[in-house]
Amino acid sequence: MWSTTLLRRLSAVLAAAVLAGCATAPSKNSKMGDPIYLYKMGISQFSQGHFLEAEQYFRDALKIDPKMIMTWNMLGKTYLFSGRLEEAQAALEKAIQIQPSFAEAHNNMGTVFLQKGDLVKAEAEFNLALRDTTYSQSPQVWFNLGMVAYQKGNYSEAITQFGRALSLNKEYAVAMLGRARAYEKMRQTDQAKADLRRYLELRPEDPEGLFTLGRTLVNEKSFVEARPLLERVWLLAPSSTWGQEAKKLLDLIQ
């Protein structure tokens, strides 16, 4: 049998080990008081599309540290992706108030105004984002300026801005689609078709891209090539706007 002295020594060693483990492995509850941890958890939830959960993490982080500009920015972006534009604007204004040169917050604010239809304010915010020479290397802000130009009806300028986005990332798919639509408006159908085909190489099951190319081909009376594209749209998204429009075109070319 073990002696009483040995048992006491073993108990002391085990107790020390438990205490050491507690000191080096903080519980989840202790992490909930860490704004960086909460911010990272919010990012994780946001990346999975869990916007309500992300919002709660960001709000909890800001209760602890209300000057975390990245958290205000991400809270604003979460609201933006949830369609809560007024709340998005308020959160982004907080980030910009703390750091007026915060390029990403200006870009997100521009997107808020773009969705509100205020093209003047949207363009101003995107241009503020471009003052950051590092951020000007992001294709997203050039794409956004292309969207402003497109909605203004300035299709030549839109083509230029979408082209700048693609010069920074040749596989920036949404810029290909945007430029194709601008080419369509300019009646430059060969360029439009080229961009649409490249777009569909990257996103072969996208109803909008399939429909847009199908419509372009219908306008050229290339019905044999258009039909399978429009049928695919109808199969993928029959209740969507693209699906309904594809069905109308299919009925016309039967």
Residue 45 DSSP SS3: helix
For position 254, what pLDDT does the model report? 80
CA angle 73, 68, 60 (to 5 degrees): 90
Rounded Cα distance between 143 and 244, Å, is: 28
Cβ–Cβ < 8 Å for 182, 208 = no
- Residue 88 maps to a domain: no
Provide the angle, in degrees to the nearest 10, between the axes of the packed helices 207-219 and 223-236.
150
- Residue 235 maps to a domain: yes
- Max distance between CA atoms of the chain, in angstroms, equals 97
Cα 151 to the center of its chain, rounded Å: 20
How many C-alpha atoms does 146 have within 13 Å on its Cβ side? 24
For position 33, what pLDDT does the model report? 80
- Residue 230 maps to a domain: yes
Domain limits for position 236? 205-254
Residues of the chain with pLDDT > 70: what percent? 87
Alpha helices in the chain (DSSP H): 4-24, 28-31, 35-47, 51-64, 69-81, 85-98, 103-116, 119-129, 139-152, 155-168, 173-185, 189-202, 207-219, 223-236, 241-253
> Which stretches in the chain have pLDDT values below 50?
1-27
- Residue 236 maps to a domain: yes
- Residue 188 maps to a domain: no
For position 13, what pLDDT does the model report? 38
- Residue 134 maps to a domain: no
Cβ–Cβ < 8 Å for 229, 243 = no
Q: How many domains does the chain have?
A: 1
* Tokens at 168, concatenated: 């920074």
For position 29, what pLDDT does the model report? 56
- Residue 124 maps to a domain: no
pTM: 0.82
Cβ–Cβ < 8 Å for 106, 125 = yes
- Residue 232 maps to a domain: yes
